[in-house]
Chain A
Amino acid sequence: MDISFIAMQFLSGLMMATLLFLVASGLTLIFGVGNVFNFAHGSFYMLGAYLAYQAVSVWHANFWLSVLVASVGAGIFGMLAEFLFLRRIYGRAEEGGFQILLTYSFILVIDDLVKLVWGTEYKSLPRPTGLTGTAEIFGLSIPSYNLAIIGIGLVIVVIAWLVLSRTRSGRIARAAALDREMLGSLGINVPLTMTVVFGIATAMGGFAGALAAPLRSVSPGAGIEVIIDSLIVVVIGGMGNFWGAWLGALILGEVNSFAVATFPEWASLFSYLVMVLTLIFKPEGIFASRKIRRI
C-alpha cells in the first residue's frame, strides 16, 4: 500500500465520515437535549433530499438556495411533528417504547407522503455549478464537491460548538439536557425550547439530505439506509454527545474505508465490531468523559 493510496483512502473515509456526522449530529442533539430517540431522523434526511430536488429541478433554484429550502422545510416539518405528536408522550412511564413506536410511524408516514408527491422513480440531482470537476491536491485527484462537503462539515462542527458553549440559547439547550424541571422553574419556556431544538435537529437532517442528494439516489426508503450507520456513530460517540458524534463518524468512516481496501469481503463487519466493542467496554460512548455531561 503506497502513501498516495493511503491518503486517498483516508480522504474517502473523511468524506463518508462528514456525511455520517451531518446526519448523526441532529440525532445526537435531540437525544442529548430532549432525551428523544428519533427513529425517523433518517426520514427528515430523505425529506431534505426531496425538497432540494424539488427546488432545483422543478423551481430551477440555485443549489445552495435549495439546501436552505431543504433545511427550513425539514425543520418546520420536525417542529410540527414535535408540537402535534411527540409532546403528548413526554414524561409518560412508557415513554421509551412510545418514542420508538411514534417515531417509527413517522418513517412510514413520511415515506408515503414522499411517494404521493414525487412518485417512486429514483430522482437525481446534478452537482452544483463550479463543483462538478476534480481538484488536485498533493497529486491526488479528488472530486471538488467531495472536498466542499468535508469543508462544510468542519464549519458545522465549529459553529455548533460555538452556539452550544458560547451563547445563551446554547446554554439553555444544555441545561434542558440536564434538568428540564429545574429549567422550567427558572422561567424558561421548556416546551418551546423542546420544539425549537427538535426543529433544529430535523433541519440538520434535511441539510445533510440536501448536501448528499447530488451524490446519492433520492428514493423512498432512503431514510432507513442512513439511520443504522448514524445510530452506530451515536453509540460509539456516546448518546447525546456532540463531539462524540463527530469523532464517532470519523472512526466509522476511516475503519470502513481501510477495511474496504484491505479486507473487502469482511468490510461491513468492522463497523459493527467497533460498535460492539464500544458497548462492551465503554457503553456510555468512547468520548463521554463524565457520565452526566451531554452536548
Chain B
Amino acid sequence: MSRSKYFCVMALALVAALVCSIPVYAQEKIIKIGALYPMTGRAGLYGLDSVDAAEMAIEEINSKGGVNGYKLELTNTDSKAKPDYSVMVAKRYITQDKTHFLFGVVSSAVGLALTEVSKQYKKIFIGTDHASTQLTTDKFQPYYFRVSNNTFQSMAAGALYLKELQQTKPWETIAYIGPDYAYGHDQWQELKYNLDRFGVKYKSVGEYWPKLFAPDYTAFITSIINDKPDILVAGFWGGDTVAFIKQAQPYGLFKKTLYFHPDAGGNYELMSAMGSELPEGLVLSARHHNNWPETALNKEYVEKFFKRTGRYPTYAAEGAYAGIYAIAEAVKKVGNPDDTEALVKALEGLKIQLPEDPEGFTSYIDPETHQIVQVQAIGLTKPNDKFPPAKMMLGDWKIYKAEDLLPPKDYAERLKKK
C-alpha cells in the first residue's frame, strides 16, 4: 500500500470511529464503571466470572430502562493482578475516561493500591472480591465500599463452628497451612483472635507457609501428618486447594484430621475441578454457594449465569453482581452518578437483597466500616451431581448470623497499633 493510500484509509477509519461514537454520548446518559479484573493467570477464572456476572446485572437493569434515565456501562481492563499497573489504569479511568466508579479487583494487593487512588481522587471504589480485612479496618477510607465478606467474617464464622464442634466431638490440637503472603497470614491471625474471643481452648501444633501457587505440597503433608492435629485449617485459594487436596488424599490425611477451610475452600471451582475425586466430609465455606440458600433469587441467579456462560459461577461472580446492584441503588437514591459525596451517603447503610441472602435477611453496608454485612454458611462435602461437572457439593449447613461475625469496635485500633 502506498503511503498516501495508507493515510486515506487511516483517516477514513478515524472518521468512522468518531461518527459511530458520537450518537451514543448524544442520546444516552451513562453511568461509567471502570473495572480492573485479572483475565490471565491463575486468577483469570475469577476475573472472567466477575465480568460475566457484572454484565448480566447490567443487562438486567438496563433492559428495565436503567436508573433515573441513566444506562450502566462497564469497561474492564486486565489488571494482570499487578498493583502498579492497576493504579495506572485506574488513574486513566478517572482522569481521561471520566469514570464514575472504580470497580472490582480479585487480589487484595491490587485492592490496597486502588483504595489509595480512590482516596486521592475522591472517586468511589466498589470492592467485589478481595478479602483483606485491612481495607475496611485500619486502611479504611471514606470512598471505599466492599460488597463481599472479608476474611475476618469467614474466620469468625469458622471459630464459632469449631466452638460448637468441640461440644459434640472434642478436639484439642489445630494446625494451619496457607499461602505465605498477607491473605494467608491474616486468616490464621483472625482465626486465633476469634477462637480466643469466643473462649475456645486449643493447642496449635504446626504452622505451614507454602508459597502462593506452589505446585508441590508433599513435604508439607507428611510433616502435618507427623504433627497429628485434630483440625487442619487451610487458607488456600483456587488451584492451590485442588493441588493440596489431591496430594494429601492418598496419604490418608483426611481420615486422621478434619480438613477445615472456611474462607475460600467452598468455592465452586474446587468442586468442578475435582468431580468425584473430592473426598467426602471436608468442612468448607465460601462467599457464595450455588446450592445455598435455596431461595428463588439464588436459583434464578445461578441458572441465568449458567445459561449465559455454560458454566456455574464461582463466588467471585456474585460479588460483582452485588456491586452493580449497589451502584444502581445508590444512583437511584441520589438521582445522578456525579455527586460523589451524596453517593457515599446513599451507600452507607444501603440494603440490597442478594442471591446469597437466606429467607428473612437482607445484606446491608455497615455505615461505619463500609463493609457489607452478610450471613455465612459452612457445610460438609457430600455427593451431589446437580451442578455438573461437580460430583460433590456442600451440605449439612451450619448458618452464622451476620451480626456475630463483625470485628469488635476496637479491632481497627488494634491493627493500627501493630
Residues of chain A whose beta carbon lies under 8 Å from any beta carbon of chain B: 5, 8-9, 11-13, 15-16, 19, 111-112, 115, 119-124, 126-127, 132-134, 141, 143-146, 212, 214-217, 219-222, 224-226, 256-257, 260-261, 264-265, 267-268
Contact = CB atoms under 8 A, between A and B. Distances in A.
B395 interface: no
A40 to B, nearest CB: 15
Interface in B17-73: 40-42, 44-45, 48
24 contacts: A5-B222, A8-B222, A8-B226, A9-B219, A11-B222, A15-B216, A16-B219, A19-B215, A111-B41, A124-B246, A124-B277, A127-B250, A143-B251, A146-B250, A215-B247, A219-B45, A220-B40, A220-B41, A226-B215, A256-B219, A260-B219, A264-B206, A267-B208, A268-B211
A9 B223 contact: yes
Given A9-B222, A219-B239, A120 B250 contact: no
Nearest to A260: B219
B341 interface: no
What 8 pairs across the A-B complex have the smallest Cβ distances?
A143-B250, A217-B239, A217-B242, A257-B219, A122-B273, A221-B41, A120-B45, A12-B218
Interface residues of B, number: 42
B221 interface: yes
A220 B44 contact: yes
Given A16-B219, A133-B250, A220-B40, A268 B213 contact: no
Nearest to A220: B44
Contact of B42 (A119, A133, A141, A220): A220
A253 B306 CA distance: 43
Contacts of B219: 9, 12-13, 16, 256-257, 260-261
A121 B272 contact: yes
A122 B216 contact: no
Contact of B208 (A5, A121, A126, A264): A264
Contacts of A144: 250
B89 interface: no
B263 interface: no
B238 A12 contact: no
Given A13-B219, A264-B207, A123 B273 contact: yes
Contacts, number: 132
B238 A122 contact: yes
Interface of B: 40-42, 44-45, 48, 180, 206-211, 213-216, 218-223, 225-226, 238-240, 242-243, 246-247, 250-252, 269, 272-275, 277, 311
A19 B216 contact: yes
Contacts of B277: 124, 126
A119 B221 CA distance: 30
B205 to A, nearest CB: 11
B210 to A, nearest CB: 7
Contacts of B216: 15-16, 19, 215-216
B222 A217 contact: no
B250 A217 contact: no
Contacts of B48: 120
Nearest to B310: A119
A265 B209 contact: yes
If over half of A's interface residues share one DSSP class (helix, strand or loop), that class is named, otherwise mixed; here it is: helix
Contacts of A216: 215-216, 239, 242-243, 246-247
A124 B207 contact: no
Contacts of B275: 124
A5 B223 CA distance: 8
Nearest to B223: A261
Contacts of A8: 222, 225-226
A9 B219 CA distance: 6
A190 B223 CA distance: 49
Contacts of A12: 218-219, 221-223
A117 to B, nearest CB: 14
Given A141-B251, A264-B208, A222 B215 contact: yes
A221 B251 contact: no
A261 B251 contact: no
A31 B251 CA distance: 37
A225 B218 contact: no
Nearest to A264: B208
B208 A260 contact: yes
Given A124-B273, A220-B42, A225 B214 contact: yes
B243 A217 contact: yes
Nearest to A133: B250
Nearest to B268: A121
B78 to A, nearest CB: 11
Contacts of A260: 208, 219-220, 223
Given A5-B226, A12-B222, A220-B42, A141 B213 contact: no
B42 A219 contact: yes
Nearest to B240: A217
Contacts of B239: 122, 216-217, 219, 222
B129 to A, nearest CB: 15
Contacts of A13: 219
B242 A15 contact: no
A282 B274 CA distance: 44
A105 to B, nearest CB: 14
A268 B223 contact: no
Given A111-B41, A120-B45, 19 more contacts: A9-B219, A12-B218, A19-B215, A19-B216, A121-B273, A121-B311, A122-B272, A124-B274, A146-B250, A215-B243, A217-B273, A219-B42, A219-B238, A221-B41, A222-B215, A260-B219, A264-B206, A264-B208, A268-B209
B250 A134 contact: yes
A268 B246 contact: no
B149 to A, nearest CB: 22
B173 to A, nearest CB: 16
A145 B277 CA distance: 15
